[in-house]
Structure 1
Amino acid sequence: MRGLVAKGLLCHLMEAIEWILPEGEREPKPPSGYVVSFACFYEWGFASPPHAFFQGLLHHYDLELQHLDPNGIQHIAAFIALCEGFLGAPPFFQLFRYLFSFSVFKAKLGGVLTPVPIGCASIRLRRGNGPSFRADEYMPMALTKEDGKWHATWFYIKNYEDAPLPLFTNRIHAEKPRIWGYDPEKKEERLADYIAAIHFLKRRGLTSRGVVGAYHSRRVAPIMARALALDEMVPDAAPELIAGAILALEPLSDSEIQQRITEAFPDPVPVYPDPNHPVMRLMEGFVPLDGYYFRRSRAPLPEDAVQRVLNRSAAERRKGKKDARAQWHVD
């Protein structure tokens, strides 16, 4: 944990007690107001309180934080950074569902594939033949094979009331839930400009390594809630908003950023900074995306379900009154 704090990836312990180390516990049992997290998640782009997109993603796919694995965290972090930092748009939920799929991970124990409580939800770019072949419509994301011991570095993090994560229940996804099976058969019209813009940026040198390096250079965790989107972190932005978004007080060296990219991606060793990679918006020399129209689509949050119930009830009451009036006129 000291290493994460020293790197600016985890805050210092303060009066609020942002995180707690387990003491002699063999399996997670977080105290009230806390959930389980893992050290490597912070190296891959997670921090709390969480981004609203991440909250909605967990809610939609019926996931708790410990169900994800490090590569899944990296996929989500890079996706948010691409949308905010290079497209100049909020992370688009329908685009994520179009590009990525979830599968159940099972560990081989005694020669038998067995469901696991931690890291059971694997996120992958959709591949295959026909309409499922979508990896080419995104930036290549060949991530480093995960260390099988990553889940041993668990600890407890504060669960913020104003940006809550799902409560820890220790439940297991033994089989693929129905919601994970969503696979749009064709590209929706509203995704066309997003995918065209990604292709445009790829022709100008965009890579997943460059995107990851760019958000480390800004000293942010894409999955953390911020007052400013990545493309709003400009020199004339309010200093207090910038201070609330960055993790490390001092700029990171190029060698430190290169090391973080190396840990996330396999060989070859990345070049950082890459002179051929586009810079984040709105830095000098960024690639403008004139003529592209980006619609908004966020992942549904728990309160949205409550609102839908209220809306449905209100609609049923209106319909009942209308039917009653119609019946009165008939009589």
Structure 2
Amino acid sequence: MPPAMEQYGGDWDGSNVHEDHVEFLRKTRRLPGAGKVEVRLAPAKEITPAPREGKRVVFRSHFLRGIGLPVSAFFRFWLEFYQLQPHHLTPNAVVLLSAFVTLCEGYLGVHPTLELWGEFFQSKMSTRTQGVPAQSGAFIAMRRVAADNPFPIITLIQSVKLWQKSYFYVKNVAPQGDYVNLPAYVAGPPAGRRPQWSYRAVTLTPAGTAAVARVRAMTQSEGLSGSDLLAPFVTRRVLPLQSRPHLICQMSGQLDPSRMCTKDMPHDEVSFMVNYLANCKLSAEWQFGKEPYSRANPPPTVCSPCLFFFSQFCHRVPLADSD
């Protein structure tokens, strides 16, 4: 069942983000430097976001759950395919997206795709009153409940309070390149539930079939659990939804350029952070059920990389079943 608070979405009530929050996001490489991305806080009396031209609305809550700027090509494409804005996403939707990318990159050794997302997840629209879309958090992502869905179950936080108040504004100011990579801001909720929200491939490609079979093997025989999809990006200090030089399974130690920080996080702090992201109830002495792969220990080949990329380009997303 989706979290109770997210079932009915939320309204705007200003922002509580201050300069210390922004400084922390810059220090942890969630936000690029001021020479590339300009930040503006919401005015004290502002209730609803009103970005100036060229600015995007982002959320501190989302940055703490796996988003970083510039956002990854997959996340940008995912937003455009579902016709969503960052303010349409609940914090739990961001957690599931980050876990999904970690599964693809850290365990399968492949780039995330809409085909795999649609195989594992479905969606619904959150309403503030019956039939009226929520102003913020209108898109609810959920693991498909089918018995043959091998994606590990993640028990989400029941209520992420006041996340709508964590918004602020960013604008790309880099002389070259886009260090934000988000679609132009469009105010308001989605204009109803889009047909593509029901996307699921009628028939999986050979690459997709191989990937799903590998996930099933890891969950049934190799100990892969839901917390294993959150702990890797916490321990490796990487942001799944940020543009990075390489996949999570290709990371190589404390100096890896994908990392937010060169220092290792203490074991008990990892469990605290994972429990902050989801209701995993990890103890301070937690252990991986299955550790993610790395450059020193690469994942087994799910299928030929050429076949995988070819199948994703040839597989047309309009071929879908309804939920």
TM-score of the aligned structures, taking structure 2 as reference length: 0.78
Contact 1:4 1:10 in 2 (8 A): no
Contact 2:31 2:37 in 1 (8 A): no
Contact 2:138 2:190 in 1 (8 A): yes
SS in 2 for 1:41: helix
1:152 has 2:165 as partner: yes
TM-superposition CA deviations, 1:53-85 (whole Å, max 9, x none): 001001111111111111111111111111111
Contact 1:102 1:124 in 2 (8 A): yes
1:28 has 2:49 as partner: yes
- How far apart, CA to CA, are the structure 2 residues paired with 1:166 and 1:83? 24
- How far apart, CA to CA, are the structure 1 residues paired with 2:303 and 2:313? 22
- How far apart, CA to CA, are the structure 2 residues paired with 1:39 and 1:253? 23
Contact 1:51 1:226 in 2 (8 A): yes
Corresponding position of 2:251: 233
Largest Rg, 1 or 2: 1
- How far apart, CA to CA, are the structure 2 residues paired with 1:272 and 1:4? 32
- Are the structure 2 counterparts of residues 148 and 81 from structure 1 closer, same or farther at C-alpha, using a change threshold of 3 Å? same
Letter in 2 for 1:205: G
Letter in 2 for 1:265: A
Aligned sequence identity (%): 20
Corresponding position of 1:247: 260
- Mapping for residues 1-331 of structure 1, pairs under 5 Å: 2=20, 5-6=23-24, 8=28, 10-11=30-31, 14-24=34-44, 25-108=46-129, 112=130, 114-127=132-145, 133=146, 136-159=149-172, 161=178, 164-185=181-202, 187-202=204-219, 203-235=221-253, 242-243=256-257, 245-266=258-279, 268-270=281-283, 273-284=286-297, 288-290=299-301, 292-293=303-304, 295-296=308-309
TM-superposition CA deviations, 1:124-161 (whole Å, max 9, x none): 1122xxxxx26632111221123242111111123573
- How far apart, CA to CA, are the structure 2 residues paired with 1:172 and 1:259? 33
Count of residue pairs brought into register by the alignment: 285
Letter in 1 for 2:53: S
Gaps of 5+ in 1: 128-132, 301-331
TM-superposition CA deviations, 1:282-303 (whole Å, max 9, x none): 345x6x4256446136699xxx
Gaps of 5+ in 2: 1-17, 315-323
Structure ranking higher in helix proportion: 1
- How far apart, CA to CA, are the structure 2 residues paired with 1:298 and 1:59? 17
